[in-house]
Structure 1
């Protein structure tokens, strides 16, 4: 499907304007696909992102600021996300032994297990992206990196 068809818009002011709209539209499409698959696990894409960050540092704990810095969506409320995940038992917060003002955040076994279950469904989710070849995906990554660079 073309962007023009999906948005029912025949013209864009420039090819760069169309590219920007296309990136935003595709980002929303991917976000919704991701949100839909994560619903079965009772977590949001933002919560999933926090869990992935914590798994990446495991067993080393992270501070809230470290998590916020690594998040995909910089506008997400990391404090609220961490608290929701703590209530679900996916992570824990502990006072640091060396610095009583520091709170360390650590993924729990329950959090690691939910990520393992989500990982087992990843191939099915990524299959929706296999309409492009590996070479095209590499080129897309290069272009997107260049755009942000």
Structure 2
């Protein structure tokens, strides 16, 4: 009996593809849960962290809401709402775009940059999820297989 069969108490899968899909979903949810738990201590969500990292990459330039939407890992996120929460926490600033008054530019604040520095010192524990299970060669193979799946995205 495989690990996934034990973990979800299922006896058989309709195919290896079915088993692989269920395993990916299970592992994905497990990793998301670990991330949510980690970011809770900083009073931010995974999506807010993603926005802060995008903005740090743009720094000192601003990013538009559309740029943030395009670069987000979670494409279902309501970026405007996330940015507003980050603004209220003092982690980002919003201002009307100088190029297009209807658009909004977002910049990370010094407080946001400082929070990312703190998180950077601790975030390695999330990578341990892979390091504890897979060696370097296996991670390279995993990345290759995931890239292959993303070809059809």
Q: Tell whether the structures are fold-level matches, with TM greater than 0.5.
A: yes
The aligned counterpart of 1:102 is: 103
Inter-partner Cα distance in structure 1 for 2:22 and 2:41:
30
> What SS is found at the alignment partner of 2:63?
coil
Inter-partner Cα distance in structure 2 for 1:42 and 1:139:
35
> What SS is found at the alignment partner of 2:130?
coil
Instruction: Report whether the alignment pairs 1:35 with 2:26.
Output: no
TM-superposed CA distance for 1:101, in Å, is: 2.3
Inter-partner Cα distance in structure 2 for 1:65 and 1:123:
29
Inter-partner Cα distance in structure 2 for 1:16 and 1:128:
24
Inter-partner Cα distance in structure 1 for 2:46 and 2:124:
17
Inter-partner Cα distance in structure 1 for 2:32 and 2:118:
19
The aligned counterpart of 1:144 is: 146
> What SS is found at the alignment partner of 1:106?
strand
> What SS is found at the alignment partner of 1:92?
strand
Moved over 6 A (4+): none
> What SS is found at the alignment partner of 2:105?
strand
**Cα displacement string for residues 90-121 of structure 1 (whole angstroms, at most 9, x for unaligned residues):** 10001222332221101111111111111101
Aligned length: 149
**RMSD between superposed Cα atoms in Å:** 1.2
TM-superposed CA distance for 1:53, in Å, is: 1.2
The aligned counterpart of 1:134 is: 136
The aligned counterpart of 1:83 is: 84
TM-superposed CA distance for 1:56, in Å, is: 1.5
Inter-partner Cα distance in structure 1 for 2:61 and 2:14:
49
User: For structure 1, which runs of at least 5 residues remain unmatched after alignment?
Assistant: none
**Cα displacement string for residues 7-60 of structure 1 (whole angstroms, at most 9, x for unaligned residues):** 111211111111111111111000010111111100011111111111111112
Inter-partner Cα distance in structure 2 for 1:89 and 1:102:
20
